[in-house]
Structure 1
Amino acid sequence: MTKPLIALGLEGSANKLGVGIIRHPPHPISSFKPRPPAEILSNIRHTYNAPPGEGFLPKDTAQHHRQHVASLVQQSLAEANLTSSDIDVICYTKGPGMGAPLQSVAIAARTLSLMWNKPMVGVNHCIGHIEMGREITGATNPVVLYVSGGNTQVIAYSNQRYRIFGETLDIAVGNCLDRFARTLCIPNDPAPGYNIEQLAKKGNILLDLPYAVKGMDCSFSGILAKCDEYAAQMAKGTLTDPNTGEKITPEDLCFTLQETVFSMLVEITERAMAHVGSNQVLIVGGVGCNERVQEMMGSMAGERGGSVYATDERFCIDNGIMIAHAGLLAYSIGQTTDLVDCTCTQRFRTDDVWIGWRND
């Protein structure tokens, strides 16, 4: 790449609709020097929130994306002080994610591509999180803990692939937190996981929960079922601390849930670090914003002489800029997606993607 390249990214795999614009400085492909930092020109997001006690349905989420995508693209261009002629490539989330919302964004990307006569790049959502995390934090070759509403994976790079060393065997950790928020009728605004985190800070009684770690894999459905059982007992006033007899509160249940699932995540991440010989951990995905999981992971990494890298909600939570960035990395080495192939898929494995822009 011998000239600056600018990409517009569209993300809509779940209830967040994101539009971002990024510029990569000139950097010859043959150069062995590190690529100069990318310049974030715009990063706008609009969230669909369902009422408390309910989850977001695919059809409602897709309608939200269709309603807002055009205005978000206009806002993004205005914020970046650009016009459509300045954009080199349109990048969009190909998957994984919810089918109907993904389709809405894919249609928007195809429409912009045809209107502006620009090439397209379909991006793996997980790769977007990883590459954005690496870009923002400067982590070189970390073990990646990818934790979100739809995904829980422990990942490390090897031979131009991001290899999955461990993952959830049923539901994702973010889905576990979100569904328990519904049980307690915790508001979805700004996010159910965030609201659980705030309640957990006020809890101090730790109850017994299943602890399901199997090698580097983990399971959360049994934990959720037990938490729902505790919540029903609490509603009847029959749930007490077995040691003191003190009544259990919603804050205690949120504290218990977080401490248990985050301990599991720390264990499988440490096992992966030992396996690949890394002393860096990069936490990405919406759950990665949680201060408690960052604190627990930091304690573990510190004991190993390592360090933890994480970003704030601008880049942890689903956003368009991560899609623009990962798409532009692919575009810089000649990868594009033909119009007929600009589809989406709910199942798109992290290790399916060839990482041709890395040669380490």
Structure 2
Amino acid sequence: MDTLLIQEFRGGLLECVHRGHISIVNEEGRVVKYAGDPHYVAFTRSSAKPIQAIPGIRAGIIESFGLKPAEVAIMAASHRAEEEHVETLKSLIAKIGVEEDGLVCAPSLPLDRVSRETLLRNGGERRRLYHNCAGKHLGVLAYCKMKGYPLTGYDDPAHPVQQEIVDTLSYLSQLPTDKIGRGIDGCGFPVFALPLSALATAYMKLACPDKIADPATATAAATITTAMNSYPQLVAGRGRVDSILLEDSNIVAKGGFKGVYAFALREERLGISFKVSDGSEEEWGMIVLEILQQLDYKNKETIQKLRNVFTSKITNDAGVEVGHATAAFSLEEWA
């Protein structure tokens, strides 16, 4: 059963509750703390992006196309089409030498409100490059081009690159491929379902690549996560929990749609994942903050940044405080 994670009050009355599951694993991939069901099966959605970037980086697309760390970071991003996101994507697509129309992800408007309003005021239109998954797609297309694969059909689950992605996820999560559920993501790519404990294990290894036995995979994971920490704003955007966490060099983090989130702590050698049952992501910041506080996380600057952005106050459209939210879970020790 899921457990209560967040309560929201308005006018002194309970208005909303958000339930879900939390799983925390150690460096051996064993659950050590939890709330709800630590093995709850959830779709990874965009939390898989750093892992989906590994095959291409491992194979040598950085060297083949002369890529910079910022262009690696955008491959793991759910970008908001802010100016620096778009400029990085333009640089990446030029280096790879592919056409924007070749991207499977749908033409979109920027997710960032300021960028979207600016675009529309200037008569701009939807573009595939504005889709939040464009960087992930370009990374896979770069790998296809380097290997001489056709640039069409790269989203097909049977495509060799997609098969390599599944194998990589299986390897990092310690879960056999036949135990990984499959579906189609919003951007058209295959998407994977696995226990939260397995996703947390994969993230622990992203943060601690010394736990990855294969040297090439370990090097690729370190390259990707270093790029994410070096360019945190490219991975998400202004005020986004991913970017705030990635400003801390001890943390690797990436959220996914429909309430799934994963992050890991390097020095503590912990992998953490959670799922908000109703699919909401508004509660991510408060949940992450509460997890870190209950773990007595050492970096108080990161804690304070989260408190500043993800306050307990609920305000109306005019900014007037009308209620408050509170974390309602306690992490339990796994016996």
Give TM-score, length-normalised by structure 2: 0.29
Q: Which has the larger radius of gyration?
A: 1
Give TM-score, length-normalised by structure 1: 0.28
